[in-house]
Amino acid sequence: MSAQLAISHHLLSVHDYHRMAEAGIFTEDQHIELINGEIFDMPPIGSFHAGLVTRLSRLLINKLGEQAIVTVQNPIYLSELSEPQPDIAILKPRSDDYMQSLPTAEDVLLLIEVADSSLHYDRTIKLPHYASHQIPEVWLFNLKEQRLDIYQQPESDYYRLHLRPKAGESIQPLLVDSVNVDWSGLFDY
């Protein structure tokens, strides 16, 4: 009889992930994320994706002023095993601008993902992960279909409410009620 071989599965902690980066294991050009202890390689960011993130961040910074902090492609500490980097995060204001520690789920007012080749990953990996950490709202801009999906009311690993506003319809983040965004012209160039 043959003995069964036990196969181990090792997950990386955020601490391990940071030590690997400090040791030079990752290059500066690599776009990676740590989700549930696993490192995911992200596809390169194209000009349309980058331009839409720039356009959105500029619009949100102008509209929000001092009400919130807008960060672009910066990490959010969600757990000992997860540190995703959403395209845009709208965070509660903090006097140190998150220099002393990374923002956590409790600091997040809204996360925005812009997806083209990463659409499947954003929907099947990141969105359930955000819901499981009680991120109150996620906007997913689908570049291929030039569509916006809004997810609210996190429960377990999904969002109970999924909205798809029509072009020209003004949208308003749940937790930043003083801001309305007309998203219809965002895809124009």
* CATH number attached to the domain at 45-182: 3.90.1570.10
pLDDT of 176 reads 87
Q: What is the pLDDT of residue 3?
A: 63
Q: Span 109-127, mean pLDDT?
A: 94
pTM over 0.95: no
**How far is residue 16 from each of residues 36, 82, 114, 116, measured CA to CA in Å?**
13, 11, 28, 30
Give the residues across from 8 on adjacent strands.
none
Which residue, among 170, 159, 120, 169, has the nearest Cα to 142 in the 3D structure? 120
Judge residue 60's burial from the number of C-beta atoms within 10 Å of its C-beta, 0-12 exposed, 13-18 middle, 19 or more buried. buried
Specify the pLDDT at position 90: 97
Q: What is the pLDDT of residues 71-89, one digit of tens each?
A: 999 999 999 999 999 999 9
Task: Give residue 1's pLDDT band: very low, low, confident or very high (50, 70, 90).
Answer: low
Q: Are the C-beta atoms of residues 186 and 123 closer than 8 Å to each other?
A: no
Reduced to 3 states, what is the DSSP secondary structure of residue 61? helix
Q: Is the pLDDT of residue 100 over 70?
A: yes
Closest CA to 106 of 78, 145, 74: 78
Reported as type and span, the H/E element at residue 128 is helix 127-132
